[in-house]
Amino acid sequence: MRALRTTTTVALALAWLCCGGRAHAQAQTPSELAAGRQLFVEALADEEHGRFADAVTKYKRVLVIRDTPNIRYRIGASLERLGKLVQASESYTAALRAANPGGASADGEVARAVQTRLDAINPKIAHLTVRVTAPPAGTEITVDGEPTAVQGVAELAVDPGAHVVAATAPGTRSFRSSVDLTEGARADVPIVLEPLVSAPPAPPAPSVATHPYRTAGIVTAAAGGVLLVGGVVVLTLRSGAISDLKEACPGGECPASQRDALQSKRDRAQTEGPLGVALVGTGVAAAAAGVVLMLLTGSEKGTTARLVPTPIARGAMLTFGGDL
């Protein structure tokens, strides 16, 4: 029974392809018409085996060769099986117009079949109403990724299922809304394009008291401590040398056998005295200066502190100096 039905459908389709409809100027040769018939038979086979997308592609190629109500009907039927009700309705409507040119029933059987399908699927088509008030210049609106011209309000016929409405405009936040429509449902999507608001400037960071002289003060105070300790050590050694001289030379008379050694110790004691005093004095001054620098809370000009060697009789001493 199915084979008989298929054979009958093919026979009727080929008759419509050959005798009905409008042939394009470039498809009037016998070889082109033969190719169209073969392609039509292949499309029918695809439709019969559920390959509806392939069938639509081939039917549209046949339509270029010969435009007939039956071909448009078959395109609509395949689109309907794919769930593309809006496109199917458009194809059925085109088939109905072709079958009834000027209102005359030239192809009554096809017209009745087309009208039956339109009456069945049109109530299932969903409708999406998109509204936008005073859209800024450069506004772009898309429905399911396809650009859509909307001037205030637009009612769009859509297939049942999920749909995404998006909009962008210069100086506004992007708009996006998703809606899921059942068969015959209606939905209203108002587009709101909110202007971008510049973020307020961050509050200034709380001021923190700085101590530009702190490091220099610590270093200077530490150096002063080292000099002070060194001065005390030198003075202690000098004191020991003087004590040895007094012991070796009672009454100021030194033994001739130790004269050279005692003279060397006396010379060293004479050098260590001023050096020790200088070190102690410089150490005290440096330590005091370091404390002062650490107590300073800030200044517009930096201070460079340094220890400066200063020559003295029979030796040298370190002094504290600085540039402001």
Q: With helix as H, strand as E and coil as C, how does 176-236 read?
A: EEEEEECCCCEEEEEECCCECCCCCCCCCCCCCCCCCCHHHHHHHHHHHHHHHHHHHHHHH
What does the longest C-alpha to C-alpha distance in the chain come to? 158
CB 179 within 8 A of CB 163: yes
Per residue in 169-198, is it b (16+ CB within 10 Å) or e — as a string?
Answer: beebeebeeebebeeeeebebebebeeeee
Please give the C-alpha separations between residue 222 and each of 53, 167, 171, in angstroms, as whole numbers.
90, 70, 62
* 186-191/175-181 β-pairing: unpaired
pLDDT at residue number 128: 95
What are 219's two structure tokens? 């270093």
DSSP code per residue over 55-112: HHHHHHHHHHHEE-HHHHHHHHHHHHHTT-HHHHHHHHHHHHHHHSGGG--SSHHHHH
Q: What percent of the chain has pLDDT over 70?
A: 70
In whole angstroms, what is the distance from residue 272 CA to residue 228 CA?
A: 14
One pLDDT digit (tens) per residue for the chain, 324 residues: 454 345 445 554 555 454 455 544 444 688 888 888 999 999 999 999 999 999 999 999 999 988 899 999 999 999 999 999 999 999 999 999 888 766 555 457 888 899 999 999 999 999 999 999 888 888 999 999 999 888 788 899 999 999 999 999 999 999 999 999 999 999 999 998 888 876 677 777 665 545 556 677 677 778 878 777 777 776 787 777 777 767 777 766 677 676 677 677 677 777 867 877 887 788 778 777 767 766 765 544 444 555 555 555 555 555 555 554
Cβ contacts of 110 within 8 Å, gap of 6 or more:
16, 69, 70, 73, 95, 99
Taking the domain 2-123, which CATH number applies? 1.25.40.10
Q: Where are the domains of the chain?
A: 2-123, 126-191, 214-323
On the question of a common fold for 2-123 and 126-191, the answer reads no
The residue type found at 256 is A
Taking the domain 126-191, which CATH number applies? 2.60.40.10
CB 68 within 8 A of CB 21: yes
312 pairs with which residues across the strands? Answer: 315
pLDDT at residue number 301: 46
In whole angstroms, what is the distance from residue 106 CA to residue 112 CA?
A: 11
